[in-house]
């Protein structure tokens, strides 16, 4: 740039200021990428998007049972790839009235020679139905320890909110069982010592 620039209109603008602002955007967007994680969580919880279901204990059922409607609730179970457990529902589906409390048992077995800890992760289809599925008791709230060769019956108690939209006639509750032995909570692992041999 010519040292004695005759054009005052081209006075050296402040590059550093623009760069600073742009870097601010860059840092902000990097943060936004991470902010998407909790935002997504909140968004899914509110909308039931992506089959998210409330995975915590619901208040006991005090709702009116709506006997005019019957909804078919189906159960699907699978184990994550490489997970050796057996895992299945006792019944494949139940028919419930909205507001009615049901208990369904799930069967799990650990055919390996090792004590293992697993966690079941639920998902509901259609997604919007997840908002109306209330579990008052579920094995999926906690990690499940199972000693080598043992099997167990795990109860799940639920009711459907009577506000469930009219067009939902069937909903599917799917559980995937994940091996959590490597990151088991200490109090769950402690149960193996407390009961030296299951069965």
Q: What is residue 114's three-state secondary structure?
A: coil
Q: Which of 57, 183, 185, 195 binds another protein (CB under 8 A)?
A: 183
* Per-residue mark of binding to another protein, 75-114 (x: CB under 8 A): -----x----------------------------------
Check residue 186 for interaction with another protein (CB under 8 A): no
Can you tell me the distance from the alpha carbon of 96 to that of 91, in angstroms, rounded to the nearest whole number? 13
Q: Which of 45, 66, 128, 161 binds another protein (CB under 8 A)?
A: 128
* Per-residue mark of binding to another protein, 152-181 (x: CB under 8 A): ------------------------x-xxx-
Number of shown-chain residues binding another protein (CB under 8 A): 45
Can you tell me the distance from the alpha carbon of 27 to that of 31, in angstroms, rounded to the nearest whole number? 6
Looking at the Cβ atoms of 37 and 194, the one nearer to another protein is 37
- Which residues ranging from 19 to 38 are in contact with another protein (CB under 8 A)? 19-20, 22-23, 25-30, 32-34, 36-37
3-state SS of 76-102 is: EEEECCCCCCEEEECCCEEEECCCCEE
Distances (CA, A) of 52 to 42, 55, 67, 117: 10, 8, 27, 23
* CB contact at 8 A, 70 and 106: no
Q: What number of residues does the chain have?
A: 199
Closest contact distance (angstroms) between CB of 23 and another protein is 7
Check residue 142 for interaction with another protein (CB under 8 A): no
Is the bond preceding 107 in cis, omega lying within 30 degrees of 0? no
Q: How many CB atoms lie within 10 A of CB 109?
A: 15
Looking at the Cβ atoms of 41 and 60, the one nearer to another protein is 41
Pairing of strands 151-160, 133-138: antiparallel
Q: Which chain residues interact with another protein by CB under 8 A?
A: 1-2, 7, 9-10, 12-16, 18-20, 22-23, 25-30, 32-34, 36-37, 40, 44, 47-51, 80, 119, 121, 125-128, 176, 178-180, 183
């Amino acid at each position: 740039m010519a040292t004695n620039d005759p054009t005052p209109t081209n006075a050296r603008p402040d590059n550093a200021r623009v760069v600073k602002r742009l870097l601010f955007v860059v840092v902000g967007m990097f943060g936004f990428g991470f902010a998407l994680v909790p935002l997504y969580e909140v968004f899914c919880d509110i909308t039931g998007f992506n089959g998210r279901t409330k995975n915590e204990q619901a208040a006991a059922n005090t709702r009116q049972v709506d006997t005019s409607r019957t909804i078919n609730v189906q159960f699907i179970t699978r184990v994550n790839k490489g997970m050796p457990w057996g895992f299945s529902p006792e019944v494949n589906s139940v028919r419930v009235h909205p507001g009615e409390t049901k208990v369904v048992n799930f069967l799990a077995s650990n055919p390996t020679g090792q004590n293992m800890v697993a966690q079941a992760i639920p998902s509901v289809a259609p997604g919007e139905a997840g908002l109306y599925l209330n579990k008052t008791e579920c094995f999926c709230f906690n990690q499940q320890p199972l000693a080598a060769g043992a099997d167990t019956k795990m109860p799940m108690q639920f009711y459907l909110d009577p506000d469930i939209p009219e067009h939902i006639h069937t909903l599917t509750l799917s559980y995937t069982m994940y091996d959590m032995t490597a990151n088991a909570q200490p109090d769950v692992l402690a149960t193996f010592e407390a009961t030296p041999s299951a069965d």
